[in-house]
Structure 1
């Protein structure tokens, strides 16, 4: 009897979950193709895929709430309360979010890859180094003397950068 009452909601929920799985698979495939075509390492591709999955799960939960008959006012109250708390908490760590956002932007449009030697035109601390790794929060840059410099993603997008040599890491060997 209970199944008959919620039959429409259950069918709609199954349809939405199937659509979610298909969209997630297609989006992950597209991200992987873009990543491999751009020469991005596998760890960064996996990170962007995780961001996508979390975003899609939040969207799925919102749609599922509407399917199950939750009132729009209730959802807006919950979301506004949650976003207010998250907003206050994230204000304290805005630079971390800025670096994560910059990392996502760099995944799709950063013209330099791991192994390229670049020069960062920073007035206070100019750097000429080889990109050893591009992570969620920072780049790992290897100086000619072998020292490792971490450079925040949000700053690299704000500074002028010159490509000195492509695939320069081969000239310096493996630093790991």
Structure 2
């Protein structure tokens, strides 16, 4: 194969691909810096910030792959047919696992909305299973709670957004009641 003819013939696609990759690396770098800075300002745990960075990285990778396919002029008929089949299978599988997606989405919402944070003592208003515990960790799928007697409870993130929650200041503060 004559590489000089290849380079001349595809020079536009090569240059576009290089520019795209540089832009993606810059976007990834600056988005990582922005998330880390936001995490420091908002006092978010490092592993939660890293989770958001990972989500951004996956999204950028998918967008980059699509852009490279478009730049190089790959026959989209075959790609669209294949992707639609793959997405249909993934859609059915994810629909069957909606609770997993719900917990991931809820974890992201909890990360950015800050209704409560690690170290807060919360009371979950559930008529069947009321809980009062300290938030030990907020993870992708669940929140780890520690009760006053030292028991650990994993509580799904989507339920934290669905149930009524009271943030209790401290278990040991005396409560004053007035008539």
TM-superposed deviation, 1:48: 1.1
2: CA distance, partners of 1:109 / 1:143: 24
Determine the structure 2 residue equivalent to 1:4: 8
TM-superposed deviation, 1:26: 1.5
Which of 100, 105, 110 is the aligned partner of 2:109? Answer: 105
SS of the residue corresponding to residue 53 of structure 1 reads: helix
1:65-104 correspondence to structure 2 within 5 Å: 65-104=69-108
Which of 122, 142, 145 is the aligned partner of 2:126? Answer: 122
Task: Please identify the structure whose Cα radius of gyration is greater.
Answer: 2
TM-superposed deviation, 1:27: 1.4
Q: Structure 1 stretches (4+) deviating beyond 6 angstroms?
A: none
TM-superposed deviation, 1:88: 1.5
Q: Which has the higher contact order (CA 8 A, sep 6+)?
A: 1
Instruction: Please give the root-mean-square deviation of Cα atoms over the aligned residues, in Å.
Output: 1.5
SS of the residue corresponding to residue 25 of structure 1 reads: helix
8 Å contact kept, 1:39–1:113: no
When normalised by structure 2's length, the TM-score is: 0.88
2: CA distance, partners of 1:111 / 1:34: 16
8 Å contact kept, 1:140–1:149: yes
Deviations 1:85-111 (A, max 9, x none): 111221222211111111111111122
Structure 1 gaps, min length 5: 169-176
Determine the structure 2 residue equivalent to 1:41: 45
Deviates more, 1:68-77 or 1:135-144: 68-77
Structure 2 gaps, min length 5: 172-179
TM-superposed deviation, 1:76: 2.6
Matched residues, number: 167
TM-superposed deviation, 1:68: 0.4
Determine the structure 2 residue equivalent to 1:136: 140
TM-superposed deviation, 1:33: 1.9
